[in-house]
Amino acid sequence: MHNLLKVNPQLISDIVRLLEKNARLSISDIASALGISVEETAGLLKELEKEKFILAYKTIFDPEKIQKNRVRAVIEVKITPERGGGFDKLSKRIAGFEEVTSCFLMSGGYDLLVFLEGESLKEVALFVSEKLATLPGVISTATHFMLKTYKEQGIIFSAPSHFRLPVSP
């Protein structure tokens, strides 16, 4: 167990909850919300980063508003587990590709759920056919292209400017 959790597990949980809602909170805002000093908060955050509890602070952009016209896809991947290593070795190799933005081990009909981005449909298709599907241990893939984002990581994107009037009998 990490020494950090021995300090006060509830305090760590509260910091995580605050940062999940808004990673831009200042140290003084976090300290105020938790009822502890700025110095103690800064020390805890530094320790959370050092111990890899906090891996990154990310921003979610609306791709339509910033005109980021990248193609996003979700790929279901079936793989063969390796003796003595299970799914880890191949999963980490797949996760290491630059195009891959997320990679999850899943239960159900496939083993991995892989999210990726590319400049075009062709680029994504080439990644799947030349890099992913050809890896030893990959049994099959099923690619799904993301057409529009309505909600991502708990954030609802703006509603469309057009709407339909309700129809009543």
- Which CATH number fits the domain that encloses residue 14? 1.10.10
Give the model confidence (pLDDT) of 8-44 as tens digits: 888 999 999 999 889 999 999 999 999 999 999 999 9
Q: Are residues 78 and 143 in the same domain?
A: yes
Q: Are residues 24 and 79 in the same domain?
A: no
Domain-embedded: residue 87: yes
Q: Are residues 77 and 143 in the same domain?
A: yes
Question: Looking at residue 164, what is its pLDDT?
Answer: 62
Question: Looking at residue 3, what is its pLDDT?
Answer: 64
Give the model confidence (pLDDT) of 50-100 as tens digits: 999 999 988 888 777 776 778 999 999 999 999 888 999 999 999 999 999
Q: Are residues 80 and 137 in the same domain?
A: yes
- Residue 2, SS3? coil
> Residues near 86 by Cβ (< 8 Å), separated by ≥ 6?
none
- The angle that helices 9-21 and 38-50 make with each other, rounded to 10 degrees, is 90
> Residues near 129 by Cβ (< 8 Å), separated by ≥ 6?
none
Give the residue numbers spanning the domain of 24: 3-50
Question: Looking at residue 1, what is its pLDDT?
Answer: 43
Q: Are residues 46 and 78 in the same domain?
A: no
CA atoms within 13 A on the CB side of 87: 17
Q: Are residues 7 and 45 in the same domain?
A: yes
CATH number, domain with residue 128: 3.30.70.920
Question: Looking at residue 8, what is its pLDDT?
Answer: 82
In this structure, of 23-27, 120-124, 130-134, 159-163, the range with the lowest mean pLDDT score is: 159-163
